[in-house]
A and B are shown apart, each in its own frame.
Chain A
Amino acid sequence: MISLYNILLISFCVQPPGENYANPRICFFHVLFKAGALAFYILSALFSDSFVIIFVVTVLLAALDFWVVKNVSGRILVGLRWWNEIDDNGESVWKFECLDQESLARMNKKDSWLFWWTLYLTAVVWIFFGIFSLIRFQADYLLVVGVCLTLSIANIVGFTKCRKDAKKQIQQFASQTIANRFTSTIQSAFSVV
């Protein structure tokens, strides 16, 4: 399954980094449910008549994929996590979390490459299917594609925000540390004088 995705991505002229996967089983599950939902949708739309089965199985696979990406592969492959909480005032708060700098730097590059590329690629493929069923005026298939697309986009938005915040936090922390070191060096210089 992972090699299939590799082939597809390489055909788009995207090169994976040279090292090996650090968590092959997690990568496998990350790709499994996405590819399963897409494959089931394509094959059964071609060969089967029962819309109910197509809907239930595809949406179930897409929901499982959402859970796996949000709770398992996001944490382990790229060290990011996002969730929503309701605080004591009844306001909804979106929380983003990342590992600290050393662990982030130690992340396997190939893992995170696979994570981000498959995330974006799946959403693009679902959009393509949506346009396809729109052209054919099939409202019920559009419903399936709509649900799967919503789940993919939710994960994309959550993790992209998380990554941007993490980068900003790293920069802020780094510049803060440099500024304070600078200030303390100057002060110690003045105190000696």
Chain B
Amino acid sequence: MSYSERDTVPLNQSSQSDIDEIENLINYTVQSGPATVLPARPPSPPRASIPVSSSPFLPSNLPPPPQKPPSVPAASPPPSTNGQQQSNMTGFGSPPNTLTEPVWDTVKRDLSRIVSNLKLVVIPNPFREDPGKALRDWDLWGPFFFIVFLGLILSWSASVKKSEVFAVAFALLATGAIILTLNVLLLGGHIIFFQSLSLLGYCLFPLDIGALICMLKDNVILKIVVVCLTLAWSSWAAYPFISMAVNPRRKALALYPVMLMYVSVGFLIIAID
């Protein structure tokens, strides 16, 4: 809209301010890119301060804040031709409210995310539509717990040098996950660093179960059978995600190190005494 093209009859006061407001909106939405901070409006203005639950670990008495559209003000923004902005607008549905939500809600949300990620990764589902999309909301809590758990079990099963066993197991698993992720990325794969770390951590869950069983029952044949089964389960869980991420010709190159790491962890479980 160019002011030089206006004809000689001036617009009256109210429509002039409307035009200004719309122009404000256009400039504002064009400026806010994906990495800039967007101010979030607190859900109900009459509150004097930020609504907060009185104790972090008790359920809050406050009602959940009503769903409000994101912070771009009242007039709806003009249809943006930029697809990236579109996804920013639509992807912003729940986050403005998480800034002022009660603490208990945050805890529940994170716990349910861990459980859903675990189910997604570990339970085999041959009809999954797109494994690449599956671990969209990655988290590192699950992998942290599983790695520490495995290290503790190995350390417990060892009769000597318990501290070294734990430290070696933890360092091996953590470094192994990082290196495997770098491997996939360097092979030209399309996976986010943290998503892959999260995936490899969650795929350790079957080996955790195997290690627990091996610790409780000391029979060598049983150990070998259990470790082989859980190893196969872990590898089968990791296979769809890794293979979707890389070029089909390089699938074996990406998968072989993963299998190698799980096999070495399996040997650690069998050989510890």
Contacts and interface: CB of A to CB of B under 8 A. Distances in A.
Contacts of A110: none
Contact of B35 (A29, A87, A94): A94
Interface string B124-162: 000000001100111001001000100110010000001
B67 interface: no
A36 to B, nearest CB: 15
A180 B37 contact: no
A95 B195 CA distance: 16
Interface string A164-193: 011011001100110010011001101100
A94 to B, nearest CB: 6
B39 interface: yes
A56 interface: yes
A19 interface: no
Contacts of B95: 81, 83, 95, 97
B4 interface: no
B55 interface: yes
A76 B50 CA distance: 7
A45 interface: no
B112 interface: no
Interface string B194-223: 110000000000000000000000000000
B126 to A, nearest CB: 22
Interface residues of B, number: 61
B170 to A, nearest CB: 7
Contacts of A67: 110
By size class, the interface of chain A is 35 or more
A183 B23 CA distance: 11
A56 B37 contact: no
Interface in B85-105: 87, 91, 95-96, 98-100, 103
A29 B54 CA distance: 12
Given A86-B195, A90-B132, A97-B40, A75 B100 contact: yes
A110 to B, nearest CB: 14
B170 A99 contact: no
A49 B71 CA distance: 54
Given A81-B99, A140-B163, A143-B171, A99 B132 contact: no
A107 B123 CA distance: 46
A140 B167 contact: yes
B247 interface: no
A143 B164 CA distance: 12
A72 B87 CA distance: 27
Interface centre among B3, B28, B41, B99, by most A CB within 10 Å? B99
B37 A169 contact: yes
22 contacts: A22-B49, A50-B163, A52-B151, A52-B152, A52-B162, A55-B170, A71-B103, A72-B56, A75-B100, A79-B50, A84-B194, A86-B137, A87-B87, A90-B190, A96-B36, A100-B39, A100-B41, A103-B50, A143-B170, A180-B20, A184-B20, A187-B16
Given A90-B133, A143-B167, A166-B37, 8 more contacts: A26-B56, A55-B166, A71-B103, A92-B193, A100-B39, A101-B39, A184-B20, A188-B13
Interface of A: 22-23, 25-26, 29, 50-52, 55-56, 59-60, 63, 67-68, 71-72, 75-76, 79, 81, 83-88, 90, 92-101, 103, 106, 140, 143, 162, 165-166, 168-169, 172-173, 176-177, 180, 183-184, 187-188, 190-191
Interface of B: 3, 10-11, 13, 16-17, 20, 23-24, 27-28, 31, 34-42, 49-50, 52, 54-56, 71, 87, 91, 95-96, 98-100, 103, 106, 110, 132-133, 136-138, 141, 144, 148, 151-152, 155, 162-164, 166-167, 170-171, 190, 192-195
